[in-house]
Amino acid sequence: MNIVITGAGKGIGFELAKIFTANKHRTFAISRNTESLQNLSGNLLKPFSFDLLKGDYQQLALKIKDFLPEVDILINNAGILINKAFRDFTDDDFDIMFRTNVNSVAKMSRMLLPDLKPGSHIVNISSIGGYQGSSKFPGLSLYSASKGAVSILSEAMAEELKEKGVSVNALALGAVQTEMLALAFPGYQASLKAPEMASFIYDFAINGNKYFNGKIIPVSSSTP
pLDDT tens for the chain, 224 residues long, are 999 999 999 999 999 999 999 999 999 999 999 999 988 878 999 999 999 999 999 999 999 999 999 999 999 999 999 889 999 999 999 999 999 999 999 999 999 999 999 999 999 999 988 788 777 777 889 999 999 999 999 999 999 999 999 999 999 997 566 776 576 667 757 667 789 999 999 999 999 999 999 999 998 765 65
Measured in whole angstroms, the distance separating CA 214 from the mean position of its chain's CA atoms is 16
C-alpha dist (Å) from residue 52 to 18, 101, 159? 21, 10, 25
CATH superfamily label, 2-219: NAD(P)-binding Rossmann-like Domain (3.40.50.720)
- The pTM for the full model equals 0.93
Q: How many Å apart are CA 24 and CA 145, to the nearest integer? A: 36
| Range 140-145 contact pairs with CB under 8 angstroms and sequence separation of 24 or more | 140/81, 140/83, 140/184, 141/86, 141/89, 142/82, 142/86, 142/89, 142/93, 142/94, 142/97, 142/98, 143/81, 143/82, 143/83, 143/97, 143/101, 143/184
Is residue 202 annotated as part of the catalytic site, yes or no? Answer: no
Q: Answer positive or negative: Cα dihedral of 36, 98, 63, 111.
A: positive
Q: What are the φ/ψ torsions at residue 48 (nearest 5 degrees)?
A: -140, 125
Choosing from 143, 188, 202, 211, the catalytic residue is 143
Q: How many Å apart are CA 179 and CA 118, to the nearest integer? A: 36
**Number of CB atoms found within 10 A of residue 219's CB:** 18
Give the residue from 126, 168, 124, 156 showing the smallest Cα distance to 143.
Answer: 126
